[in-house]
Amino acid sequence: MRCIKLEVEYDGGKFFGFQKQRNQRTVQESLEKAIQEICQKTSSVIGAGRTDAGVHAFGQVCHFKTPSLIPCENLFKGLNSILAPDIVIKKVTDVSENFHARYSAIGRSYCYLILNRFYPSAFLDPYSHWIPQPLNVDLMKSACQYFVGKQDYSGFKGAGSGEKNNVVWVKKVFCFRSAESSVFFSLEMHPFFFSDFSQDIIFFYIEADRFLYHMVRNIMGTLIEIGLEKRAPDDVKKILVSKNRKLAGPTVSPKGLFLLKVFY
């Protein structure tokens, strides 16, 4: 039995999340249907992260097991030929049978996009969170330092999570306007987001060993309030110490959130 690793990107606004749900279009279901058509066998697709409805991915990683002998190059071409344009296979590789897209991962990175100008964008609306009021990015940058390290993130965990271990090791966090091109290009973000929006997009990047339910979106809700000068940067530290979700900002829209990369 072969174990196949897929690197996938998708427009999350066109799916009701990654995980299969009855009567809803999901990434997992779309991949499984395509694999069954190509390999003539039913396979379960396991993803590195169960992105919510509306959340996008540049670098989702999945795996499935199959007895099929179709070469990876042909799987790559075949799957992309029948998948809809809003989901694309970027790479197909044979891996060890012990590989697990989720449990073998040692880290993940996410990016959140804010369109910060007084009018919206017809093009960026599906891929960013619009804030018409001016944001103080320097204050947001100052707040980022409090997220780095191994800490209990109960204060930023979404309601409804069954996760009991709330300790997360956040390795990198930073926030910047897209005009800071040296940082922008180091993330290898899609060039579509650069050009006419160079002064208007604020990027937030976070890398950690794991993430709690709605953690990034709750962090962003807090950072936006800091950028609006409704709260101080060191409020982040107070929220972390308190472990009280009610002290943090609101859960922001999923459409500005991208799974960038999964680390192994």
List, by residue number, the catalytic residues.
52
Token match 């002064």: residue?
A: 199
Contact 11, 258 (CB under 8 A): no
Phi, psi of 129 (to 5 degrees): -105, 120
The rounded distance, in Å, linking the Cα atoms of 44 and 64 is 6
The rounded distance, in Å, linking the Cα atoms of 264 and 250 is 32
The rounded distance, in Å, linking the Cα atoms of 119 and 173 is 28
Rounded (to 5) percent helix, strand, coil in the chain: 30, 25, 40
Structure letter (DSSP) for residue 217: H
Contact 235, 223 (CB under 8 A): no
DSSP element (H, E) containing 168: strand 167-177
Strand partners, 95: 3
CA atoms within 13 A on the CB side of 245: 17
